[in-house]
Amino acid sequence: MAIEIQIQSSALAKAISRATQADLYRTCLPTIGNMFGDHMDVFVDHLDVVENGITVVDNPDPDVRILVPIDVYLVPQVSLVQAAPGDDPPGAKTPAGRAVANYSLSLAGTLLSISLVDPALRLEPPNPQLEPLLEMVETFIPDLPDLDLAPFLAALRLPTPTSSQIQILASLVVIRFDPAGPATPHLFPGQEWGLFVDGAGVVDLVRSLLPPPLGARAALNWDPAGGVPRVSGRFRGKIPLPDPFTATVEVPFTCNLGLVSPALPRIRATVNRGQPQIHADNIPGFLEAEFEDTVDGYIAKLVDPAVVGGTKIDDRSFFLERGLPPMRFGAAELRMSVLAADNTGMTLGGVVWPTYAEWSTLSTTVVQFGLPSWFGTCRTTVGNKPPKTNVDCYGGVDFSNFGAYCGVIMTDPGGIAASFLTQPSSAVDSGGAESVGFSIPAIVAKGIDQDVTFLLRSARGVRLINLGRPIVKVDEHGNVEFTPIFIDDCLKLTNDDLSVLDWLEGKGKIPKDLIDPPFEHPDWRALILAERGLEVQLVSFVGLTPGELLSFRSPDHAIDVTADGAGQATVPVLFPLSEDASMMTLTRINRESLAGKFRVRSAAFVRRSVLASGEVNRLDSDDDGSVQLTRSLGDRWTRHAFGIGGMMASCEIATGEGEVALNPQPLPPEPPEAFLTAASRLPGLDTVILIPGFEAEPLAVARMKDGNAVLLQDDGSGSVRVSGSFTGPIGAMATAGDWSMSATQDQIAMFEVKRTT
């Protein structure tokens, strides 16, 4: 039996390059003292794998060598000081040298390993001046995870190999178990890697899957058909009959192998038996019926799926499945999506999906010291006025693409500012933006007479940050001049609010533009009247990389959402209900798989009626599950009843009855009050629109006064975070029971709501 694992060298090289880069991207490197003899520190700005320079080569030893070039970017402290503010120092743009990591791909039994060998690094070209750097950098080049193939072979009921070897075959790396004869390529289209089992091995696999005695006694042959792995067989057995009667039966059958559900791959074996051939002598006529029952029972036992945990398809066929364990090698996923065969055997494999890696470098935005500032709100500030002296001077730097935060070095460690430094945890990985800053009381900042400077160190760059010096001005009364930032969030009654109160007390009429506010996007009317209605989905994700971006695109919407610090995100998706749906995509920008990381809840709004909009509209639910729509149409009132399937009844009602029953258009169900309160404090907010069908969720679209829209989501602490951007139509829906309405200036669309979780 021949068993091999074959991997394209280019796919293997890419997987190793991404794994190495992902590790280096988050690695803080120490400072190198006096490297160039100028008594100045030298910093490793960052390390970058040269992805298109990796080579996979044979080695005289029984392994394969993978050479990974790594560009080393060095920044002497003197160049940091001399660089213009906001500019990257020269060493951050041009590598000082190139080191080559020497990995060994080796095989011990069924354990496949990638590890650094001695010497782990060498310089190309050699550079004696940089040699001291190698030993320091070498300790940070990662060993990559091993892959034990034993569970995978066991899942396929393949025998434990007694010997193994690894070799290069043209553009392939071939791992061979119990090798015999020369290696040959066995990958099919769509496979960057594959497990090959020869025909004899597939026959043994099928034999182990079949119910006894079918598997033990049948004659089996490797018989692929049209690229599908197939084993054909014939069973010949003696039917148990009392003496002196004898009979034998021949049962032809086939077993096709296929791959089920690439996301959670399983091998499926489908067994189909043909028409049995009976050979019997001297069976008397009066025993023929009993004989036929005996034969049928005998054959049924031969192909009984219950014996092997199979699933019956019909009287002549059944299938059984075996799950396959995940395959991860060097932080890459070996995906299983193609199972194909030829005369030599079958190959199970697919693409090599590397881990996500970044090559971006440190980006900074500096906020220099200026006048002291004060931040307050109407609700929290005593007397609704800012103080006169208790103010702070602030300066800092926001930074992103930093890989890992490695700390700051104050250029004047004894300075006053150092004791007021605020910085993130050193364990923070780049998943968004972080900041380092100083908030210094003005009375203290007045004593700072030189620029506040420090070195910001990260895994993706080292920069000198100059925040200038605080500007503190005090008048003759001891009052400090400062910049106030004040949010007037106290509750006040506007003219519209007073109008509502008057209306509730029966003292006046409520303005129509307040009853039917134009919450919706200009295209909302077109969306709710398109096709058969619309569907709204909430796609909830877990297990993402904190800060990563998700993108939804359709002809109507462009929605981008970032994962929170726990790797969670919720994306609202809206689209018309149509038999011919337009192209829509929801992707991770880092191109990693979404499999197993999300769940979908949906609310389908099936449009049942379109009516003229009243001056006032109200939707109420009844105990029997139906709803009533009450409208004021100038000099008359109407009421419509809706139930399963659409409108059930319609009538005019007395003016007095309508006035008593009618209230302002009801708002949708409210999410937690803390969410709405926090959302209302968003600077520049115009309106908050709850997600149709999911109004009780702490998620909403906020339309801003500048015309843009953002997604707001509860951050778990009662506050909200801006989780992304939202472009496209959305509007408020009023819901009662299983019905919903959306009222525009001239029309009401009535929808029956169908929910799934």
Average of pLDDT values for 468-496?
A: 75
The backbone region for 728, taken as left when phi is positive above 0, alpha when psi lies in -120 to 50, beta otherwise, is left
Q: How confident is the model at residue 647 (pLDDT cuts 50, 70, 90)?
A: low
42 has pLDDT over 60: yes
Q: What is the pLDDT of residues 657-698, one digit of tens each?
A: 544 444 444 444 445 566 777 777 788 888 888 899 888 888
Q: What is the pLDDT of residues 540-599, one digit of tens each?
A: 998 888 888 888 988 888 999 998 888 889 999 988 876 555 678 888 887 777 777 888
Range from 4-13, 135-144, 433-442 that averages highest in pLDDT: 4-13
The pLDDT score that the predictor gives to residue 347 is 96
**Comparing 547 with 438, which gets the higher pLDDT?**
438
The chain-wide mean pLDDT, for the chain, equals: 82
Look up residue 42 and give its two tokens: 């030298």
Distance of CA 261 to the CA centre of its chain: 19
Measure the CA–CA gap between 182 and 397, rounded to whole angstroms: 62
Q: Which of 53, 12, 26 is CA-nearest to residue 140?
A: 26
The pLDDT score that the predictor gives to residue 663 is 43
Look up residue 612 and give its two tokens: 């003229």
Q: What is the DSSP letter of 545?
A: P
Residue 285 CB contacts under 8 Å (≥ 6 apart), including other chains? none
Angle, alpha carbons 557-560-565 (nearest 5°):
155
Share of the chain above pLDDT 70, in %: 84
Look up residue 316 and give its two tokens: 């002549």
**Comparing 706 with 492, which gets the higher pLDDT?**
706
Q: Is 754 exposed, middle or buried (0-12, 13-18, 19+ CB in 10 A)?
A: middle
Residue 531 CB contacts under 8 Å (≥ 6 apart), including other chains? 576, 577, 578
Average of pLDDT values for 642-649?
A: 70
Q: Which residues pair with 646 in a beta bridge?
A: 643
Contact 194, 185 (CB under 8 A): no
Contact 167, 183 (CB under 8 A): yes
Contact 259, 227 (CB under 8 A): no
The pLDDT score that the predictor gives to residue 286 is 56
Given CA atoms 343, 346, 349, 350 in this order, what sign does their dihedral have? positive
Share of the chain above pLDDT 90, in %: 18
The pLDDT score that the predictor gives to residue 71 is 93
What φ, ψ does residue 510 adopt, rounded to 5°?
-85, 135
Q: Can you list the domains of the chain with their CATH numbers?
A: 3-29+36-146 (no CATH), 154-161+181-353 (no CATH), 363-487 (2.60.40), 510-611+666-756 (no CATH)
Rg of the chain (C-alpha set): 36
Contact 209, 320 (CB under 8 A): yes
186 has pLDDT over 90: yes
Helical residues (DSSP H) of 139-223, grouped into ranges: 150-155, 199-209, 214-217
The number of residues making up the chain comes to 757
516 has pLDDT over 50: no
94 has pLDDT over 50: yes
Q: What is the pLDDT of residues 370-418, one digit of tens each?
A: 888 877 777 666 555 656 557 888 899 988 889 899 999 888 666 788 8
Q: What is the pLDDT of residues 287-323, one digit of tens each?
A: 556 667 777 777 777 778 888 788 888 888 889 888 8
503 has pLDDT over 60: no
Q: Which of 325, 683, 247 is CA-nearest to residue 486?
A: 683
Residue 740 CB contacts under 8 Å (≥ 6 apart), including other chains? 605, 619, 692, 693, 733, 734, 750, 751, 753
Q: What is the pLDDT of residues 331-370, one digit of tens each?
A: 888 999 899 999 999 999 999 988 888 898 998 888 889 8
Q: Which residues pair with 627 in a beta bridge?
A: 621, 642
Residue 732 vs residues 116, 118, 308, 616: alpha-carbon distances, Å: 60, 66, 56, 15
Measure the CA–CA gap between 719 and 716, rounded to whole angstroms: 7
- Rounded to two decimals, the pTM is 0.62
Average of pLDDT values for 173-200?
A: 92
Contact 15, 330 (CB under 8 A): yes
512 has pLDDT over 50: no
Residue 188 vs residues 166, 337, 639: alpha-carbon distances, Å: 20, 11, 67
Q: How many CB atoms lie within 10 A of CB 133?
A: 22
Give counts: helices (H), strands (E), the chain.
Answer: 13, 48
Given CA atoms 87, 88, 89, 90 in this order, what sign does their dihedral have? negative
Count CA within 13 A, CB hemisphere, residue 593: 15
Q: Which of 225, 229, 232, 269 is CA-nearest to residue 253?
A: 232
Range from 232-246, 432-446, 516-530 that averages highest in pLDDT: 432-446
Residue 607 CB contacts under 8 Å (≥ 6 apart), including other chains? 528, 529, 532, 533, 749, 750, 751
